[in-house]
A = this chain, B = another copy of it.
Amino acid sequence: MGVSGTDKAAVLIEALPYIQKYNGKIVVIKYGGNAMVSPGLKNAVIRDIVLLTLVGVQVVLVHGGGPEINDMLKKTGKEPSFVNGQRYTDKETMDIVQMVLCGKVNKDLVASINRAGGKSVGLCGLDGELFKAVKLKSGCELGLVGEIKTVNAGIVNDMLQKGYIPVISTIAEGIDGNETYNVNADIAASKLAVALSAEKLILLTDVRGILENPGDENSLIKEVQLSAVPALEKDGIISGGMIPKVECCVEAMRSGVRRANIQDGRVPHSILIELLSDEGVGTMFI
């Protein structure tokens, strides 16, 4: 990097008001997509998180893991099956989901954060009864897909207080029987942000954010007012897979989270750029 010492100082000083703003605050990051698949991007995310922790931000990382689940299902001879975009989860699939998320993706992230100098702990919705769910009511049978009913953030707060970076897998304890449920990671992140009174919720995606002109990545809408969401949905500007993500952001902010962001996980260090510099990335809800 050809940045001079003076410019380095300027960058750090530019970060000053942002560090002041987020100091001691909780930021919940939903981590998935390309940012999880590419080793380089993954490495950047992890270093962002460790840096944020050091400047006093309390980061909670909620992760997905679709591709790894699919890989494992295939290894065991099962074909992944989706209904209306949601994974059909029979008992056998649920076992694989739990194993891959809680046992593989989660603990690998923990190890990576530790190796980068952080102090991390891997949890799932069963630990300390973090998430409790019932079977999701849906038009079609989805199997063990759950809808979160209660969030008991005690264990996450305990961990933050002891200085750990909590990494969370989104499975939940059933309260309508003895089953364990697969729950949507965006929704889990949103509900956890609410329970933690987080300052910010960040959803990392594989698009730049909400695009004025859906086909044109240069037409990013940088800020969207909550009240403008219905019109944008009606106009088809928010559409498809973006709709549930936007709903998560809206719901979080309506329930007390101060800000929510949908941003591009394909940009290295997009978390750091968003939180600690003048450049915003993605779409922020205001």
Contact = CB atoms under 8 A, between A and B. Distances in A.
A129 interface: yes
Interface in A242-262: none
A76 B273 CA distance: 42
A122 B114 contact: no
Interface stretch (A101-109, A137-145, A191-199, A209-217): A101-109
A51 B16 contact: yes
Q: How many copies does the complex hold?
A: 6
Contacts of A104: 95, 98-99, 102-103
Interface in A118-150: 119-124, 126-129
Chain A interface SS verdict (over half): helix
Contacts of A56: 54-56
Nearest to A11: B11
Given A102-B103, A107-B126, A12 B13 contact: no
Contact of A173 (B11, B75, B77, B111): B111
Interface in A164-183: 164, 171, 173, 178, 180
Given A20-B117, A50-B16, A1 B8 contact: no
Contacts of A54: 16, 19-20, 23, 55-56
A272 interface: yes
Interface size grouping (class) on chain A: 35 or more
Interface stretch (A200-208, A224-232, A276-284): A276-284
A103 B267 CA distance: 30
A63 interface: no
Contacts of A6: 267-269, 273
A172 to B, nearest CB: 10
B12 A3 contact: no
Nearest to A102: B103
A257 B19 CA distance: 28
Interface string A154-170: 01001000101000000
Given A12-B272, A16-B117, A122-B126, 4 more contacts: A8-B11, A19-B55, A23-B54, A75-B76
